[in-house]
Amino acid sequence: MASNTLYSPRDPALKKRDDFEDILEERRSSSDLRYALRCYVPVVYKGIAPCKPGVLKTAVLQSDRLRHVVAEMSKETGESADVIREEASGILEEMAHRLRLGTVRFFAYSLSKAFKALFQRVRVNEDGIQRLQQSIQEHPVVLLPSHRSYMDFLIMSYILYTYDLSLPVIAAGMDFLGMKIVGEMLRMSGAFFIRRSFGGDKLYWAVFSEYVKTMLRNGYAPIEFFLEGTRSRTCKSLTPKLGLLNIVMEPFFKGEVFDVSLVPISISYERVLEEALYARELLGVPKPKESTSGLLKARKILSEDYGSIHVYFGHPVSLRSLAQGRINRSQYNLLPRHIPRRPSQETQAFVNETAYRLVRLQEENMVLRPWVLVAALLLQNPDGVDMERLVEQTSWLRGLAVSFGAFLDWPDYVSASKAVASSLALHTGLVRTEGGRAQLAMEPKEPGSPEEDLFDRAASVLSCASYRNQILHVFLRPALLGMAMQMAEASRKDDIYSCFSFLRDVFSNEFILCPGGTVQDFDEACYMLTKCAAVHVQKQEVVATEKGQRILSFLTSLFQPFLKGYQVGPAPFLELVDYPRELTCYEALSSDVQKNALAALLRMKVVRKLKV
Partner 1 sequence: KKMAMVLTAIRGELVVIPVEWSWLTLSRVLFSRQEVMKWNGWGYSDSRFLFNKKGQAEFTGRRYRLSGMVLPSLKDWFESTFGASLQHKSPATATLNASAVPFPSLNEAFLQDLKSTGIPFSHEAEDRVFRAHGHCLHEIFALREGKFGRVPDLVVWPNCHEDVVKTVDLACRHNVCLIPYGGGTSVSSALECPPDETRCIVSLDTSQMSRILWIDEKNLTAHVEAGIVGQDLERLLNESGYCTGHEPDSMEFSSLGGWVATRASGMKKNVYGNIEDLVVHIKMVCPRGVVEKSCQGPRVSIGPDIHHFIMGSEGTLGVVTEVTIKIRPMPEYQKYGSVVFPNFEQGVACLREVAKQRCAPASIRLMDNAQFQFGHALKPQVSSIFTSFLDGLKKFYITKFKGFDPHHLCVATLLFEGDRERVLQHEKQVYDIAAKFGGLAAGEDNGQRGYMLTFVIAYLRDLGMDYYVIGESFETSVPWDRVLDLCRNVKERIVRECRERGVQFPPLATCRVTQTYDAGACVYFYFAFNYRGLADPVNIYGRVEHAAREEILANGGSLSHHHGVGKLRKHWMPESISDVGIGMLKSVKEYVDPDNIFGSRNLL
User: Per-residue string for binding with partner 1, 43-82, x by CB under 8 A?
Assistant: ----x-----------------------------------
258 vs 502, beta carbon nearer partner 1: 258
Is 399 a binding residue for partner 1 by CB under 8 A? The answer is no
CB of 47 to partner 1, least distance (A): 8
CB of 336 to partner 1, least distance (A): 7
Stretch that binds partner 1, among 330-338, 440-448, 455-463, 507-515 (CB under 8 A): 330-338
58 vs 110, beta carbon nearer partner 1: 58
- 161 Cα distance to chain centroid: 23
Stretch that binds partner 1, among 251-259, 275-283, 287-295, 410-418 (CB under 8 A): 251-259
Is 333 a binding residue for partner 1 by CB under 8 A? The answer is yes
Q: What value does the CA radius of gyration of the chain take, rounded to a whole number of Å? A: 25
Is 256 a binding residue for partner 1 by CB under 8 A? The answer is yes
In the list 330, 345, 449, 540, the residue contacting partner 1 (rule: CB under 8 A) is: 330
57 vs 139, beta carbon nearer partner 1: 139
Is 337 a binding residue for partner 1 by CB under 8 A? The answer is yes
Residue 374, CB-side half-sphere exposure with 13 Å CA sphere: 30
Interface with partner 1: number of residues (CB under 8 A) = 11
What is the C-alpha to C-alpha distance for residues 19 and 463, in angstroms, rounded to an integer? 29
- 367 Cα distance to chain centroid: 13
Stretch that binds partner 1, among 156-164, 323-331, 343-351, 439-447 (CB under 8 A): 323-331
Is 411 a binding residue for partner 1 by CB under 8 A? The answer is no
In 297-436, DSSP assigns E strands to: 308-313, 317-318, 385-386, 431-434
CB atoms within 10 A of CB 522: 21
What is the C-alpha to C-alpha distance for residues 255 and 26, in angstroms, rounded to an integer? 43
CB of 323 to partner 1, least distance (A): 10
CB of 218 to partner 1, least distance (A): 12
Is 258 a binding residue for partner 1 by CB under 8 A? The answer is yes
75 vs 329, beta carbon nearer partner 1: 329
User: 271 and 369 in contact (C-beta within 8 Å)?
Assistant: no
Kind and range of the H or E element at 518?
helix 518-531
Is 336 a binding residue for partner 1 by CB under 8 A? The answer is yes
Nearest 5°: phi and psi at 40?
A: -120, 105
CB atoms within 10 A of CB 129: 21
Is 326 a binding residue for partner 1 by CB under 8 A? The answer is no
CB of 332 to partner 1, least distance (A): 7
259 vs 392, beta carbon nearer partner 1: 259
User: 374 and 531 in contact (C-beta within 8 Å)?
Assistant: no
User: 37 and 117 in contact (C-beta within 8 Å)?
Assistant: no
Is 40 a binding residue for partner 1 by CB under 8 A? The answer is no
Stretch that binds partner 1, among 187-195, 328-336, 469-477, 496-504 (CB under 8 A): 328-336
Kind and range of the H or E element at 172?
strand 169-173
Is 339 a binding residue for partner 1 by CB under 8 A? The answer is no
* 359 class by beta-carbon count within 10 Å (0-12 exposed, 13-18 middle, 19+ buried): buried
CB of 326 to partner 1, least distance (A): 12
CB of 256 to partner 1, least distance (A): 6
Residue 382 sits at the vertex; the CA angle it makes with 379 and 385, to the nearest 5 degrees, is 90
User: 92 and 211 in contact (C-beta within 8 Å)?
Assistant: yes
Stretch that binds partner 1, among 76-84, 327-335, 438-446, 558-566 (CB under 8 A): 327-335
Stretch that binds partner 1, among 141-149, 202-210, 326-334, 489-497 (CB under 8 A): 326-334
In the list 329, 492, 547, 581, the residue contacting partner 1 (rule: CB under 8 A) is: 329
4 vs 330, beta carbon nearer partner 1: 330
In the list 332, 396, 502, 527, the residue contacting partner 1 (rule: CB under 8 A) is: 332
Q: How far apart are the first and last CA of the chain?
A: 38
What is the C-alpha to C-alpha distance for residues 190 and 104, in angstroms, rounded to an integer? 9
Residue from 175, 163, 147 nearest 41 by CA: 163
Residue from 75, 195, 97, 215 nearest 67 by CA: 75
What is the C-alpha to C-alpha distance for residues 314 and 264, in angstroms, rounded to an integer? 5
Beta bridge partners of 542: 537
Q: Which residues bind partner 1 (CB under 8 A)?
A: 47, 255-256, 258, 328-330, 332-333, 336-337
